[in-house]
Amino acid sequence: MDLRPHLRVPPGSPVRMQDLDPRATPGMEGLSTRDAKDRAEQEVAANADRMAVLQQRLFAENRRALLIVLQGMDTSGKDGTIRAAFSGLNQQGCHVTSFKKPSEDEADRDFLWRIHAAAPPKGEIGIFNRAHYEDVLIVRVHEMVPQGVWERRYAIINDFERYLSVTGTTVLKFYLHISRAEQRERLLARLADPEKRWKFSMQDIAERARWDDYMEAYRAALERCSTEHAPWHVIPSDRKWYRNWAVSEIVRATLEEMDPMIPPTDLDPASIDIPE
């Protein structure tokens, strides 16, 4: 099904974070949790197969690209979504870029410099694990630049994404929405598991203390940067199975709509001789 109308932030409309339910399951109404999970699992697998076919066509067509942006609080599941929802994509033709603290070189440039450099080439799918939105999220929350600077960025981002869009790159943005209580559970689980403990940092707790500031920064980004050419989708992410399913459905539906075409060829197979 096409979940986009259910989860998209309508361009130009106000966003209230308290109205976004991290445990909602739009598209799964009337199903028991067990049935919904079963259905989600089956459809994620079917979508993976279908996405492999569509990706191959996108690559053959070599005319357009797809950019997927993932944002969300710590533990919201950006890494897990990449593992679970995109497993069908061929490594070749799909590149994940994780944006961390800018290097010295990057910090010496405008904030979109490193982002633009990582934009997917024609025929490919790019996945951004965090992206230019960090420059209106962590940067705003920690006041790393004056308000006058980050305030201008929303319009700059919209212009940049429109530019990507008109030059052939479909831009799909996902905000993985978790609750404060769920984050606590996940941090505790991370600490408890020796295979995952290395991911834990005391910094996570410091960031968590700014939860409300982050929610206000996300609110502004969702409200001001959900556009016709690059809409935001809010993915309820307290339940991992729903999060994976919703992202998988939206990516598949977007690729279907892009409808990439194997380029026509003039070759007449019958006329071609391949010597022994």
> What is the binding site for a copy of itself (CB under 8 A)?
52, 56, 60, 79, 82-83, 86-87, 89-96, 98, 127, 129, 180-181, 184, 187-188, 191-192, 194-195, 197-200, 202, 205, 208-209, 262-263, 265, 267, 269, 272, 274-276
Q: Which is nearer to a copy of itself, 92 or 147 (CB)?
A: 92
Asked if residue 92 lies in contact with residue 84, where contact means CB atoms within 8 angstroms, the answer is no
Helix, coil or strand: residue 74: coil
Smallest distance, a copy of itself to C-beta of residue 135, A: 21
Smallest distance, a copy of itself to C-beta of residue 9, A: 26
Smallest distance, a copy of itself to C-beta of residue 97, A: 9
Sign of CA dihedral 244, 99, 13, 76: positive
Q: Which is nearer to a copy of itself, 155 or 192 (CB)?
A: 192
Q: Which is nearer to a copy of itself, 8 or 57 (CB)?
A: 57
What are the tokens at 150?
A: 């980050």
What is the distance between the alpha carbons of residues 28 and 244, in angstroms, rounded to a whole number? 13
Asked if residue 159 lies in contact with residue 152, where contact means CB atoms within 8 angstroms, the answer is no
Asked if residue 214 lies in contact with residue 141, where contact means CB atoms within 8 angstroms, the answer is yes
What is the distance between the alpha carbons of residues 213 and 15, in angstroms, rounded to a whole number? 15
Smallest distance, a copy of itself to C-beta of residue 154, A: 28
Smallest distance, a copy of itself to C-beta of residue 96, A: 4
Helix, coil or strand: residue 134: helix
Q: Which is nearer to a copy of itself, 153 or 190 (CB)?
A: 190
What is the distance between the alpha carbons of residues 148 and 176, in angstroms, rounded to a whole number? 28
Smallest distance, a copy of itself to C-beta of residue 113, A: 18
Smallest distance, a copy of itself to C-beta of residue 92, A: 4
Q: Which is nearer to a copy of itself, 105 or 276 (CB)?
A: 276
What is the distance between the alpha carbons of residues 152 and 160, in angstroms, rounded to a whole number? 13
Helix, coil or strand: residue 34: helix
H or E stretch at 98: strand 94-98
Q: Which is nearer to a copy of itself, 14 or 121 (CB)?
A: 121
Asked if residue 237 lies in contact with residue 72, where contact means CB atoms within 8 angstroms, the answer is yes
Q: Which is nearer to a copy of itself, 167 or 201 (CB)?
A: 201
Type of residue at 254: T
